[in-house]
Amino acid sequence: MIRPDYHGGSIVNLMSTIMQGLGDASNYHAPLKELSSGMPAAAQNVVLLVIDGLGYHYLTEVGKHSALTRHLRAKLTTVFPSTTATAITTFLTGLAPQQHGLTGWFTYFHELGSIIAVLPFRPRFGGAPSGELNISVKSLYGHTPIFDLIKRDCYIIAPDSIAYSDFNLAHSGKAHIKPYKTLAECFKFTRDIIHGNQQKKYIYTYWPLLDGMAHDKGIGSHDVKQHFRDIDRAFSRFINNIKGSDTLVIATADHGIIDSGREHCIELEHYPQLQDMLTMPLTGERRMAYCYVETGRHEAFKNYLQNTFDDQMKIFDSRQLIEQHYFGLGEPHPQLHHRVGDYTLAMNGNLTIMDAVPGEKRYYHIGTHGGMSEQEMYVPLIIVEA
């Protein structure tokens, strides 16, 4: 199992370097070993391109002769757990999960007494996004966006389906939001902003479809491989189109992906004795699930897991994960201990674990993430000076 390297080798440290280079030094974490803060400081334009799901291992195996690989500088670890909700929040705030407190797709908000899908910000049981219910999403998150901390004009290039979501708006700060519909538009709009004026700029560009396709088709599928090639060609054209613009392009990912599937999924409805020991549904991720256990049944819970699942999972005391800095360094978010339950189940191999609440549609992803395998935890650091 790979742990995040918060001492200079993770995406948190990458954000520390970017923030320091662009005029803010408030981060708890050290700068990245592989990148000097002088590089973003000196560049007229800084682009952070996040390709959701593009793991280091996938890039180096499938993209051996790609434009992205030609500019590969190093491999980094993502955060814990290795998933979009935690890592994208790090890209947008500069904070590790230890400070931003979002611990997976499903996060328990003690303040609301509810499990929330944090990116659409909907209760797990369904219904309208909480922002439509007069709940202040921004105050609940409590994060200062990176765009409000750095001394540059800032832009967010995001899919039109999520560009103005509660989550994005809560993390956009002063940044100008530019929605796009296609891969071509994603890179065109980034290029146009670079060439638009002579102001120093920071541009955050996010492409999600590789991850989405991998969930449906599998990271090892032909469709995902073809889409990777489309991304690579678009990236190569983009780099050629911005030559001479004094732009530093940093490309990376939020996590990698492994293939799993329904046959590798432990479904809690088949284990009613285990469900009976829990005070609420599972939270977190299918590869890294948080369990809230009834008072007085903790030993029975651990014994049941050990006797029933043997080597299928590793059981962690969730508070020890905080103390041992899996989520990051420094003072933890005041609600963090509420958001990780009593125990964390880290699934071995390519196994997942899931339950369902009434009315919830079940999705059996092929490609999955959230665990601590090398394929999920390592992401690329790609650097181009144009």
Tallying the residues shown for the chain, one arrives at 386
Q: Are 115 and 124 in contact (CB under 8 A)?
A: yes
Alpha carbon of 199 to those of 2, 17, 245: distances in Å?
41, 21, 12
> What distance in Å separates the CA atoms of residue 305 and residue 327, rounded to the nearest whole number?
24
Predicted confidence band at 135 (pLDDT cuts at 50, 70, 90)?
confident
Span 331-347, average pLDDT = 96
Predicted confidence band at 342 (pLDDT cuts at 50, 70, 90)?
very high
> What distance in Å separates the CA atoms of residue 148 and residue 171, rounded to the nearest whole number?
9
Predicted confidence band at 310 (pLDDT cuts at 50, 70, 90)?
confident
**pTM value?**
0.96
Residue 130 pLDDT more than 70? no
Selection from 183, 238, 191 nearest residue 384 by Cα: 238
Quickly list DSSP for 297-344. Answer: -HHHHHHHHHHHHGGGEEEEEHHHHHHTTSS-SSSPPTTHHHHS-SEE
Domains of the chain: 11-259+372-385 (3.40.720.10), 262-367 (3.30.1360.180)
pLDDT in tens, 89-101: 999 999 999 999 9
Residue 134 pLDDT more than 80? no
Return the CA Rg of the chain. Answer: 20
Q: Are 11 and 79 in contact (CB under 8 A)?
A: yes
Q: Are 104 and 81 in contact (CB under 8 A)?
A: yes
> What distance in Å separates the CA atoms of residue 339 and residue 342, rounded to the nearest whole number?
9
**Token digits of residue 305:** 């897991």
Please say whether the dihedral angle defined by the alpha carbons of residues 47, 48, 53 and 56, taken in this order, is positive or negative: positive
Amino acid letter for position 206: Y
> What distance in Å separates the CA atoms of residue 220 and residue 261, rounded to the nearest whole number?
12
pLDDT in tens, 39-77: 999 999 999 999 999 999 999 999 999 999 999 999 999
Span 149-156, average pLDDT = 95
* Crossing angle (nearest 10°) for helices 209-217 and 222-241: 170
Query: 250: part of which helix (H) or strand (E)?
Result: strand 247-252
Q: By three-state DSSP, how is residue 69 classified?
A: helix
> What distance in Å separates the CA atoms of residue 155 and residue 176, rounded to the nearest whole number?
5
pLDDT in tens, 213-258: 999 999 999 999 999 999 999 999 999 999 999 999 999 999 999 9
Phi-psi sector, 26: left (phi>0), alpha (psi -120 to 50), beta: alpha
Q: Are 223 and 333 in contact (CB under 8 A)?
A: no
pLDDT of 138: 81
Phi-psi sector, 271: left (phi>0), alpha (psi -120 to 50), beta: beta
> What distance in Å separates the CA atoms of residue 217 and residue 211, rounded to the nearest whole number?
10
pLDDT of 24: 82
